[in-house]
Structures are given as structure tokens and as C-alpha cells.
Amino acid sequence: MASSSSIASKGSLDIAGEMEVEAFRRLFPHRYYEHYLAQSVRPDARPLNHARETTIALGPVTSVDGSALVKIGESTMLAAIKLEVMTPAADLPDKGCLAVDFYMPPVCSPTVRPGRPAEIAPVISKKLQDVIVSSGMINFEELSLISGKAAWMAYLDIYCLNADGSLFDAALLSAVAAFSHLKVPLVSVNDNGRVTTVPGELLESKSELELVNKERRKLSFKSIPFSLTCLLHNKYILADPTAEEEDIMDTLVTVVVDSIGQLVSLYKAGGMVLANTSTVKDCVALAKRRAAELQNILLESLSEMEVD
């Protein structure tokens, strides 16, 4: 039987070894990662082409019309959608509108300073708006109430609660999940001819209202966009990078495909590594596989909500 002193000595050696590894990781991050990349794994044993565990919780915010909480690894996003009645544009009398805002409060990352908005936030907001519109996910005619007089303005707010890499992927998934959860409110025409939303207490009182829409309904989607960010480093492609990986290896490619496998967009934000045709094809193939995974996760979340 080993003595208590020998066990304590072994424990001290283990701790010392861990400290040395962590020091090496901080001082020589590229060499540290190269050791694992040569074995086609990351330091957490995740294969290079695998994304992190992903979860979707629908309806965490009850005061809005649609919401979702999404986690990809440690990256966490809360999306909330509020519908408000507006007067449609004269050249688009039968269509509603979408406004997207992406927020990164200081609590989400030590790199975000109080009083100084994160530089990446407006970039992600713009990319989200472009992808949602260009993918054709939303039929904006479904947001029309009365031609030329009333339509829905959808305000989509996404809050980054924890920023640990692949922020656009997590933000887009939270937006898609929130729209999947959304139910269009009932509206009525008041005595002044204005279209207003109907509070729940009026419905329960069974007062006679002139309803514009007869029931709370969900939107129908033509296709749903999903994205995967890949990190390019030498000959390696790392799917769904963490914040640490993004800091060390800065060449990112984000691929957006829809639920039927069609390419929606491809975005490369500079970096030292050139993306040749073969690399781009590999990234697109990984994105299509990831889109199938995310679609299944979303469908499971919707099924669980219906059961509840």
C-alpha cells in the first residue's frame, strides 16, 4: 500500500505538471495548438470538424412575442422578438419590416469595456439582417395586416450573454429559433380607425372586437438559414472555433446554407490564410452537415414545446 506521503507527492507533481502545461499554453499558444492539430484534435479532445454541443430553449422571455435561448459550447445568446403595428412604406404596401440589433454587454466578455460598444456588434447586426432577408426565410407579406394601412414591424433584439467564439453562428441560430417560437398577436380596429394589438384581458372578457386577424398564428418559412464558422490554419480547418482559437488563429470563414442545402452566403474576414477552391468546398460541406444537425435540434425543441 502506498504511503500517504507518496500519494501527496504524486498529487503535487500532477498539480505542478498542470501548471507547467498551462504556462506553456499561455506563452507559446501556437506551438501548444500545433501539438494537438497534428493529431487532428483540439486540446479539449474535440475533432477538428466537429461543432460543440448545442442547445435551444424556446420561450424564456414571456413579455415578447417570440424568444429563444441558445448555447453553442459556452457561447450563449438570448433572442427576443417584439411585433409592433406600423404604417407600411408607400412602395411596399403589403409587406412588413424587420429591424435587427445585436448587443454585447460587458458581462459577456472581458474584451468588452463598459461605456464602449463592442466593434463587432454592428457588424453582426448587419450580417444577421442581410442573411435573414436574403435567405427568404420570412415572407414579409405575412406581416401585412391591412394593405397600405397597417403591417407588422418585427424588432429582433439579440443579447450575447457569453462570448466564446462563433458568435454569428449562435446569434443566427437564436434568431431562427425565436422566429420559430413567435406567434403573431391579435389586432383590432378601434373607434378612431387605428389598428392596435388586443390585450389578453380583453380577449378573456369576450368583448365584441373587430379583429383583423382571427387567431394567433405562427409564420411559415420557405427555408431556414444555418451557419458554420470555420477557422483556417495552415492545412487545417477547425469547425466552430472557440474565442481562444479565434484569437490565436485569425483566418475565419463563415458559410450560411439553408435547410435544403443551398448556399446563402460565404464570408471571409481577411486573415493570413488564403481560402482556395478546395478549402471553400470543404467548409461548405461541413456547413451543410452542421445545418442538418441544427435543424434536428430545432425540431426537437419545437416538439418538446408542443408536448409541454
| Distance separating alpha carbons of residues 245 and 292, to the nearest angstrom | 24
Q: Is the pLDDT of residue 8 over 60?
A: no
Spatial contact of 213 and 150, defined as CB atoms under 8 Å apart: no
Q: By C-alpha distance, which of 47, 295, 302, 46 is closest to 172?
A: 295
| Distance separating alpha carbons of residues 8 and 280, to the nearest angstrom | 52
Range of weakest confidence among 16-25, 122-131, 135-144, 196-205 = 196-205
User: Tens digits of per-residue pLDDT, 258-298?
Assistant: 988 899 999 987 666 667 888 889 999 999 999 999 999 99
Q: Is the pLDDT of residue 244 over 80?
A: yes
pLDDT, the chain, mean: 85
| Distance separating alpha carbons of residues 235 and 279, to the nearest angstrom | 9
Reduced to 3 states, what is the DSSP secondary structure of residue 19? helix
Write the CATH number of the domain with boundaries 54-222.
Answer: 3.30.230.70
- How confident is the model at residue 273, as a pLDDT? 65
For 222, other C-beta atoms within 10 Å of its C-beta total 12
Range of weakest confidence among 20-29, 89-98, 100-109, 165-174 = 20-29
Q: By C-alpha distance, which of 58, 61, 71 is closest to 306?
A: 58
Q: Is the pLDDT of residue 133 over 70?
A: yes
Spatial contact of 95 and 143, defined as CB atoms under 8 Å apart: yes
Helices and strands: H and E segment counts in the chain: 7, 12
| Distance separating alpha carbons of residues 166 and 94, to the nearest angstrom | 36
Range of weakest confidence among 10-19, 75-84, 130-139, 220-229 = 10-19
Q: Is the pLDDT of residue 249 over 50?
A: yes
Contacts of residue 40, defined as CB under 8 A and 6 or more positions apart, other chains included, come to 47, 48
For a pLDDT cut of 90, what percent of the chain falls above it? 53
| Distance separating alpha carbons of residues 229 and 52, to the nearest angstrom | 12
User: Tens digits of per-residue pLDDT, 137-188?
Assistant: 999 999 988 888 889 999 999 999 999 999 999 999 999 999 999 998 887 7
* pTM for this entry: 0.87
User: Tens digits of per-residue pLDDT, 211-238?
Assistant: 666 667 888 898 899 999 999 988 899 9
- How confident is the model at residue 199, as a pLDDT? 64
More confident position, 105 or 196: 105
One-character DSSP codes across 233-291: ETTEEEES--HHHHHHS-EEEEEEEETTS-EEEEEE---SS---HHHHHHHHHHHHHHH
Residue with cell 498542470: 18
Q: Is the pLDDT of residue 102 over 90?
A: yes
